[in-house]
Amino acid sequence: MVRQTTDRELETRLDINRRRKGDPMKKTERYRKLIESRDILVCPAIYDCFSAKLAESMGFGAIGISGAGISNSFLGQPDVGFMNLGDNLTVTRNIVRSVDIPVTGDADTGYGNAVNVYHTVRLFEETGVVGINIEDQVSPKRCGHLEGKQIIPQAEMVKKVEAAVAGRKDPDFLITARTDAATFAGVDEAVKRANAYIDAGADIVYPDGILSEDDIKRFVESVHGPVRINMGFVIRKRPTTPLISFKTLEELGVSVVSFARMAPAAAIAGMRNAFAVVKESMERGEVIEKPELVADFKEITELMGLPGFLELENRFLTDEVLKEKYES
């Protein structure tokens, strides 16, 4: 019979590995310190290892995974509740492994009732994320920028938050409670829910779809806990959170600002431009080169960690094998 590793043994191994790497502080602690800093934390939302490693290489101190980004890129589906817990955990685990900076996960509605949320938190914590956000939408949920959203009763969400707090093993694992109430029930309802979620143990609250700078100010001043704001698209059909400078948001008292859809939108635009050049080359019957539209091969391999892999080969492969691989 295979003996199960106890929680204490697992925690001890993690602590040993962390000390070996010269990092005396857990990622969850590092992330909390970023949240508690007087400076606003600008946290790009990413959706795969490319976007995660690029954000890290450009100096961002933390990143957040976009559930919509995973649904779109991994499943090829709109963000309307098709992504299941297993899909989410698979992508999340790979992203966390690919970078050294703190990463937060997106647990959507928690994948069930409060009891499910308890286990969902435990599974996400095992991936290495420093925290998750759960939202008060009716399941199946949908992207915050889409119409047709519905919210569950406040009391039900309070229980989900309580279960999330009880489910975490690391007390520094961050629980973010998102409310979608502001979009159609108004700021007052969003404030009421946010305060209830904080009272239930949420570490930070996130009002999605808040519609103006004045509403953000009102929300921050009325909520007794840290606030995260997400900057969205300009949508013609209905209003959404406007683009506001980091300096202004910081002055308003916002703790974290994220851009949930920027990375995939930029990637789609970049690929469209590159593919357009290929189509133009086909139509003209000649080669058209626009190197400014793409990253060069060296940049890609370095971003993906090839130099480190080659160092391992030099360290652990014999001279004979290395000679055969690279000199023959």
Q: What is the pLDDT of residues 195-254, one digit of tens each?
A: 999 999 999 999 998 888 999 999 999 999 999 999 865 544 545 677 889 999 999 999
The full length of the chain comes to 328
Please, what is the average pLDDT of the chain?
Answer: 90
pTM: 0.88
Rounded average pLDDT over 32-50: 93
Which of 24-33, 41-50, 96-105 shows the lowest mean pLDDT across its residues? 24-33
For the chain, what percent of residues have pLDDT higher than 70? 90
Q: How confident is the model at residue 3 (pLDDT cuts 50, 70, 90)?
A: very low
The dotted CATH code for 7-260 is 3.20.20.60
Angle at 315 between CA 314 and CA 320, to 5 degrees: 55
Q: Token digits for 216?
A: 């953000």
In whole angstroms, what is the distance from residue 256 CA to residue 309 CA?
35
- Whether the predicted pLDDT of 159 surpasses 90: yes
What would the mean pLDDT of 29-53 be, rounded to a whole number? Answer: 94
Alpha helix stretches (DSSP H) within 142-293: 154-167, 181-185, 187-199, 213-222, 246-252, 262-284
Rounded (5°) CA angle 30-304-306: 115
> Do 201 and 212 meet the contact criterion of CB atoms below 8 Å apart?
no
Which tokens belong to 195?
Answer: 């305060």
The pLDDT of residue 8 is 41
Query: Model confidence at 1, in pLDDT bands (50, 70, 90)?
Result: very low
Q: Is the pLDDT of residue 113 over 50?
A: yes
- The structural domains of the chain, with segments of one domain joined by +, span 7-260, 268-326
| pLDDT mean over 134-140 | 94
d(CA 256, CA 137): 21
Task: Note the helical H segments in the chain.
Answer: 7-20, 27-36, 49-57, 67-70, 85-98, 114-127, 154-167, 181-185, 187-199, 213-222, 246-252, 262-284, 297-303, 306-316, 319-326
pLDDT band at 75 (very low <50, low <70, confident <90, very high): very high
H-run or E-run covering 205: strand 204-207
**What does the pLDDT read at residue 126?**
97
